[in-house]
Structure 1
Amino acid sequence: MEKIIQERYVQLENIDMTFFTKKGTFEALKDVNISIREGEFISIIGHSGCGKSTVLNLIGGLLRPTQGNLFCAGREIAGPGPDRAIVFQNHSLLPWLTCAENVHLAVERVFGAKEGKAKLKQRTQDAITLVGLAHAADKRPNEISGGMKQRVGIARALAMEPKVLLLDEPFGALDALTRAHLQDELMGIMAQSGCTAVMVTHDVDEAVLLSDRIVMMTNGPAATVGEILEVDLERPRKRLQLAEDSRYNHLRSEVLKFLYERHARKAA
């Protein structure tokens, strides 16, 4: 039976987010509305302080909005849950555990009450294999590279079988070549998993390469959605071919134009 794609799989409706601090109130977001389709890859981009990570944390249930409604797969988002897994810029691996043990920890937490040890082990192995780290399963974090650590973080998130994968600048701390390699790998991983993904990034090329749509945020305070750009490039996408693709370069220019104009307004 053909899968019916939900057009409003993740829904942010009239979201306001105000932080109350000792120095007073800070209105981070104002009237944010975003609809994300099931299986879609969305990037959120904008200048520093535009509330990108705040949007991600709201979807993840780490924050509650001051006003508005949040939904995932038809249910209100009222807090963190295994249906929404987050991959941070810092991989946050436990140094005394192996790669496989770090992944297994998440698997056991989510599925341990209803599945036996053999099934849990298989889930762990499948996730490690999916990110191409079967050869490093028994290594500890200090024995692998930064890029491999980030792949373990992605494997740990996907092992939970989330409905939505949330990525907060997952490759921001990596060198350019490692970053490019992991971007290519992430495209393959997402194609296999079919997971819905929302990624925060500062990198225009990364956003255009990976995304189905790019949500471009206005400057803060009281940031909101400025524009949403449809990335109508065929998949699978090949980095070297896209470098000379006129449509790719047009989309890249549209994002840069938006960011440049926002920077000019902020400077003025």
Structure 2
Amino acid sequence: MTAYLEIDKVEMHFETKRGRFHALRDINLKVNRGEFITLIGHSGCGKSTLLNLIAGLIKPTAGTLICDRKEINAPGPDRGVVFQNHSLLPWLSCRDNVLLAVERVFGDRETRAQLIARARAALALVGLTAAEAKRPHEISGGMKQRVGIARALAMEPKLLLMDEPFGALDALTRARLQDELMKIVQATGSTVVMVTHDVDEAVLLSDRVVMMSNGPAATIGEVLDVPLAPVREAPRLRLELAHEPAYLQSREAVLEFLYRKQAHLEAAA
């Protein structure tokens, strides 16, 4: 079966004041349609750089990225991005922030009423119908993140990319949004690549956890298959997983990898 997303021998260098910085080396990864993949690793390991490459926001120094059999060489509506910062326009309502993205994708082939209906449907999907007329300063941080997710989903992307979307939220809000995300993935069947620092989040949500080695010249160290039912088939219940051997073993495997890398960092310091 042909992979939905193919990353082949990707390298990434950046020119800095101190010279050329080798951010990523020999990145090879295949993601199937409908998979939920998380990228995890220590700070500076290139997780967000890899996500930006998939989004088409930057171009690789070498190698290729293919999504749905087309090379990625620029941003496109087939890839929706949710950033850690919600990036909402403060003078627009929640609905109009989503509508802005909808107009860019569907504006030349749908009526105004159809575009508004799309925006409202996306907000309903994340449970924000009652807040659609409110502006960002009138809603909580968790609600702002849900608007960001709604904006990405309203574009009907083939691939949903998320860069630590819950990283700045408190633990309870984060848990609620993780549960919401699982419901959304089940409803939409989306293919997701998500960056996280949180081990529990990675194991809870993922079909596979991609563990990055330390930078510079970071690469994929290990890939862990999470032996749980896929999120797209049924949301995982965190209270039940707290005593599930497969969940605990997966969590331990990721922690062990990260601790090994941390020990390597400290030894090299």
Give the alignment's TM-score, normalised by structure 2: 0.96
Work out whether 1:192 is the aligned partner of 2:191.
no
Residue equivalent to 2:264: 265
Per the alignment, residue 108 of structure 1 pairs with 103
Partner of 1:157: 152
Percent pairwise identity: 64
Q: Is the 8 A contact 1:7 1:36 kept in 2?
A: no
Q: Where does 1:172-211 land on structure 2 (aligned, <5 Å)?
A: 172-211=167-206
Confirm or deny: 8 A CA contact 1:50 1:220 kept in the other structure: yes
Deviation at 1:114, TM superposition (A): 1.1
Q: CA deviation at 1:106?
A: 0.4
C-alpha separation between the residues in 2 aligned to 1:140 and 1:18?
40
Amino acid at match of 2:151: R
Q: What residue identity is the alignment partner of 2:195?
A: V
The aligned residue for residue 248 of structure 2 is 249
Structure 1 outlier segments of 4+, above 3 Å: none
Say which SS state the counterpart of residue 64 (structure 1) adopts: coil
Matched residues in 1 for 2:235 and 2:159: separation?
21
CA deviation string 1:216-262 (max 9, x = no partner): 00001110000000011124310100011111110000000000001
CA distance in 2, matches of 1:7, 1:203: 30
Deviations along 1:37-85, one digit per CA (max 9) or x if unpaired, are: 1011000000001000000000000110000001000000011001011
8 A Cα contact 1:18 1:66, kept in partner: yes
Contact 2:179 2:235 in 1 (8 A): no
Partner of 1:79: 74
**Partner residue of 1:27 out of 8, 22, 34:** 22
Secondary structure of 2:209's match? Answer: strand
Q: Which residue of 1 aligns with 2:235?
A: 236
2:83 aligns with one of 85, 88, 113: 88
Long gaps (5+) in structure 1: 1-5
TM-score by length of 1: 0.97
Q: How many correspondences in the alignment?
A: 263
Distance (whole Å) between structure 1 residues aligned to residue 169 and residue 235 of structure 2: 24
Specify which of 222, 226, 229 is matched with residue 227 of structure 1: 222
RMSD over equivalenced CA pairs, Å = 0.8
One-letter code aligned to 1:23: R
Equivalent position to 2:132, from 110, 133, 137? 137
In structure 1, how many angstroms separate the alpha carbons of the residues matched to 2:38 and 2:258?
A: 14
